[in-house]
Structure 1
Amino acid sequence: MSGHCHLSAADTFHADSERALTMTVTTANPTLPAAERAVRQDLDQLHAEALDLARRTKELAVVLDRGDYSAAGGRVRTAVTHIWRAAEDLHSAFHTAPPRCAGPDASMSRLCGRRMRYLAARVARRAE
């Protein structure tokens, strides 16, 4: 994705002197919406592939630890750690990407509402 997004915030004053913040989201590339929706599928696929690679690499480390190649097994275990962290970064990116059904005209409240529902579910899981 090579498109750029521009966020601007402007203060507006109401008649009763209350301040309200308005935010405008504009995209520089009009052909980006289809690509934005495909991004979540790509992130999901990359995450699954990274987890599979971490699993296979761990199996290789176990095999190397059994023989005379324990030093190589240790290095492979280090690689597993890096791959796992990369998978977690992809997972985080998936949850901060726009929803699949949200186009470039999605309101900020819709995007924030989705994020808040995700965080509430996550807190509920931790409480159990």
Structure 2
Amino acid sequence: MTSATPVGDAHPYLRAASAGVRHHTRTLTAETATAPVPADRTHLDVLHAHLIALHRLVDQLQAATRSPHPAAGRQLATAGTRLWQAGAALHDAFHLLPTVHETSADEEECHPERLPEGPPVLTICQRHLAAGHLVRRTTTPTDLNSPLHGHSTTCAQ
């Protein structure tokens, strides 16, 4: 069996994660050809985890790149801000989707506080809050809320 990852590749896990996202996109596209499948909370939670992991990676890369290559470091910082904005939008969309209990009108209203183990843990919220603390240490509120600017669709080289 041959591997899609070149021998000696320094980033095999990143390539595998990207391949997984591409595969999921193709699968979802094939499924929606017959009947559109709306996003659910689980799907958005996993996608949010992927975006936040990418955000952390880009943040580490920009910190290491900024000193020797300031212009590239600034562009990586901008990319990190955009990833944070995308993660925030996913988090907001997550909370706009109905829970399992809200979709079935026949069931009694959900009361997670009555569960013996307590309310269920919202991993997306914990992840988002933790990432938010890191983002706010290095990014101004103006940058976090700014629209995409200063970028073109043409390649410089």
* Distance in 1, Cα, partners of 2:63 & 2:44: 29
Task: Name the residue aligned to 2:86.
Answer: 86
Q: CA shift at 1:101, angstroms?
A: 3.5
Q: CA shift at 1:39, angstroms?
A: 1.2
Q: CA shift at 1:75, angstroms?
A: 0.3
* Distance in 2, Cα, partners of 1:106 & 1:83: 36
* Distance in 2, Cα, partners of 1:75 & 1:81: 10
Task: Name the residue aligned to 1:118.
Answer: none
After superposition, the C-alpha distances for 1:10-30 in whole angstroms (9 at most, x for unaligned) are xxxxxxxxxxxxxxxxxxxxx
Query: Is the counterpart of residue 64 in structure 1 residue 87 in structure 2?
Result: no
After superposition, the C-alpha distances for 1:19-50 in whole angstroms (9 at most, x for unaligned) are xxxxxxxxxxxx88xx66x7110000011111
Indicate the structure with greater strand content.
1
* Distance in 2, Cα, partners of 1:55 & 1:94: 21
Task: Name the residue aligned to 2:47.
Answer: 46
Task: Name the residue aligned to 1:73.
Answer: 73
* Distance in 2, Cα, partners of 1:100 & 1:81: 32
Return the TM-score normalized by structure 2: 0.42
CA RMSD of aligned residues (A): 3.1
Percent of residue pairs identical: 32
Stretches of 4+ aligned residues off by more than 6 angstroms: none
* Distance in 2, Cα, partners of 1:64 & 1:40: 36
* Distance in 2, Cα, partners of 1:79 & 1:61: 9
Give the number of aligned pairs. Answer: 78
Q: CA shift at 1:73, angstroms?
A: 0.4
Structure 2 unaligned spans of 5+ = 1-27, 29-34, 113-157
* Distance in 2, Cα, partners of 1:106 & 1:94: 20
Return the TM-score normalized by structure 1: 0.51
Structure 1 unaligned spans of 5+ = 2-30, 115-128
* Distance in 2, Cα, partners of 1:101 & 1:66: 51
* Distance in 2, Cα, partners of 1:42 & 1:98: 13
